[in-house]
Structure 1
Amino acid sequence: MTVRAVVAGVGHYLPARVVANADLEALVETSDEWIRSRSGIERRHFAAEGEMTSHLATHAARAALADAGMGADEIDAIIVATSTPDLTFPSVATMVQAELGMTRGFGFDVQAVCAGFVYALTTANGMILSGQAKRVLVIGAETFSRLMDWNDRTTCVLFGDGAGALVLEAQPGTGDSSDRGILASDLHSDGRYKDLLYVDGGTSTGTTGHLRMAGKEVFRHAVEKLAETANACLEKAGLTSGDVDWIVPHQANIRIIEGTAKKMQLSMDQVVVTVQDHGNTSAASIPLALSVGKARGQIKQGDLIVTEAIGGGLAWGSVVLRW
């Protein structure tokens, strides 16, 4: 019998504070038209004072558990993808574990910046296939607003805060591409490009630091590498772009999303787009978009989905799954 890691539930959370493009005009030299034309972003959410990444993650986790009809005591492991933990340690995952009242199992964080959720999904899938866990709560959560340099208009307008979560459950499959669940994954990184997207803080400086990005270079790498990893992942699953129902990409920039879809010869009608409503939420953006796509009625059981993301490192990858 083949075991598959199947999505049993999905949920998301966005902080209450909504910041429209026009609101940023008072902070930095920019405009609604400038932001929309370059990114497709119209608004984003910022965490309130005292609202931490773990709080966002816990809200999303509870929504996913409710969607799955499960309690926290039925979960074996929690994996949180984040680059903005509350503290250097302990992990956000253990904080979520405590908030959920989960006293069994284990939790840990994964850090691959915007590609973090793809890495976390792949890790959870491996644990389920190996028998290490039967049910894994996989969360992407970020408070990137706290990494912004509010004097850098090219980056501070692009990011927001949020969280999304999936419950993955071991279920039997037939072993072919008609199975529900994760069918393939494809991960990459190349540290030669670390200076294209990074935060200039940490133990080396004793500060939190600010996000720094070479936007044009990141854009060039993104479109090329995202299409390549998505097609490679489909090939691993024995499928082609013609089999795809939905691309659910990392929500960073509408032009990257459009460029990737074009390279894959897919219509934008097959892409779940949420970037206009929350900006780039890094590791949170894919699970957030999956949750919104399901709530909209776009994503339905049996649909073939490709998720792909690229972030600092550079780190990138994709997952093919059947909903």
Structure 2
Amino acid sequence: MANNPFAISGIGTYLPETRIDNIPRAEKFEYDLDSLASKIGFSATARKEPEQETSDLCAAAFADLGRRLGDDLDPDSLDLIVVVTQHPDGHGLPHCSAIVHDKLGLPASCFAFDISLGCSGFVSALATVSGHLMASGGQRAVIFTADPYSKSLSENDKNTSMIFGDAATATLIEPGASWRIGAFDFGTKGEKAAAIQRNAGGVLEMNGRSVFDFCALNVPKSLKRTLALNDLAAGDIDAYALHPGSKFIVDTVCKRARIPAPDVLPCAAYGNTVSSSIPLILADLDRSAAATVMVSGFGVGLGWATTILTTKDTK
């Protein structure tokens, strides 16, 4: 394991109430309903309200974090906040984290910056934030994830509209024994970056086959390397939090990595929420039963980020 003193202390979440049912859309696109379940894996996708901004989603997740932690979450104690998003407020300037900083009334001593990453963003932020705290002498940070793809997708595009959903999370990072952050495996295949992009009109486009091939080839290898980096064996892992790009992708990654695949995606009712997908999975895990968790985000870029979270004593 890496010599990282920081851990995940709590996770707040926000899922908009609005859902778009995928069954009527599948019928509209003449998409087979069996394939909707076995390939895509999402029965509906979550959508924010038109007036909600990315910073509003972050604030809602932070409010939930406060409800979960109570007095243990003192905003004045935060040394750093980071917002992981590729869909910031307005035109992206000022950075979204500065807007969140203002909305939450955080002290001037709390630094704020954005990370422009998609599916690998949360895992990457665990490394970036813990490294920043170690370098600066800070003790507490919150990682926000909020990437409302509804800002750029077309509801008439069958390749994206039935997949992506809106959500936000807020994760408290501080020294402790609860889900300590391990060693990482990272990578990027920049030559494949155009597989997920916004076109000249600002509309999201995705080459599903290219994304699938990238995940199937690279992610199982990353999981194996991460076990070795952390001096662990497959039998040491209690749970997996793999980015749910689609049911077909997750099933294929699990098959090639020789690990159990979920019967139903944990986000089946609200969709692939990009950087929020992994913390949403983690928020629902019982830490007493899932003491050691492998987390891996992969997609936009095309890139991946994988690590271990554990409450157990490490070597």
Displacement after TM superposition at 1:160 (Å): 0.8
How many pairs align? Answer: 305
| 2:85 paired residue among 66, 77, 82 | 82
Matches within 5 A, 1:247-266: 247-266=240-259
Given candidates 68, 71, 75, the residue that maps to 2:74 is: 71
Paired amino acid for 1:67: R
CA deviation profile, 1:81-130 (whole Å, cap 9, x unmatched): 11111121112212221121112311111012111111111101212333
Q: Is the 2:44–2:162 contact (alpha carbons within 8 Å) kept by the matching residues of 1?
A: no
Using the size of structure 2 for normalisation, the TM-score is 0.89
Q: 8 Å contact 1:164–1:286 — kept in the other structure? A: no
Give SS of 2:170's match.
strand
What is the Cα-based RMSD across aligned positions, in Å?
A: 2.3
Equivalent residues of 2:6, 2:181 under 8 A apart: yes
For structure 2, the residue ranges without an aligned partner over 5 or more in a row are none
> What amino acid does structure 1 have at the position aligned with 2:106?
M
* Cα displacement (A) at 1:219: 0.5
- Provide the identity percentage: 26
**Residue 306 (structure 2) pairs with residue 303 (structure 1):** no
**Is the 2:41–2:265 contact (alpha carbons within 8 Å) kept by the matching residues of 1?**
no
Q: What is the deviation of 1:229?
A: 1.5
* Alpha-carbon distance change, 224 to 300 in structure 1, aligned in 2, over 3 angstroms: farther
Tell me the residue number matched to 1:111: 116
Give the alignment partner of residue 159 of structure 2, picking from 154, 159, 171: 154
- Judged with a 3 Å threshold, the aligned counterparts in structure 2 of structure 1 residues 319 and 61 are, in CA distance, closer, same or farther, namely farther
Question: Which residue of 2 is the match for residue 7 of structure 1?
Answer: 8
Inter-partner Cα distance in structure 1 for 2:241 and 2:290: 15
Q: Write the distance in 2 (CA, Å) between the matches of 1:154 and 1:143.
A: 17
How far apart are residue 273 of structure 1 and its match? 3.7
Q: Does 1:287 align with 2:290?
A: no
Work out whether residues 32 and 42 of structure 1, in 8 Å CA contact, stay in contact via their aligned partners in 2: no
> Secondary structure of 1:140's partner?
strand
Q: Give the one of 296, 300, 305 matched to 1:317.
A: 305
Instruction: Give the Cα separation in 2 of the matches to 1:272 and 1:133.
Output: 40
**Structure 1 residue 218, shift from structure 2 partner:** 0.8
CA distance in structure 2 between the aligned counterparts of 1:289 and 1:266, rounded to whole angstroms: 17
Cα deviation, 1:128-180, whole Å, max 9, x if unaligned, reads: 33344211101211211121123321222111100122101023x7xxxxx84
Q: Is 1:189–2:194 an aligned residue pair?
A: no
Contact 1:249 1:272 in 2 (8 A): no
Q: In the aligned structure 2, how far is the partner of 1:52 from the partner of 1:29? A: 33
Residue type of the alignment partner of 1:190: K
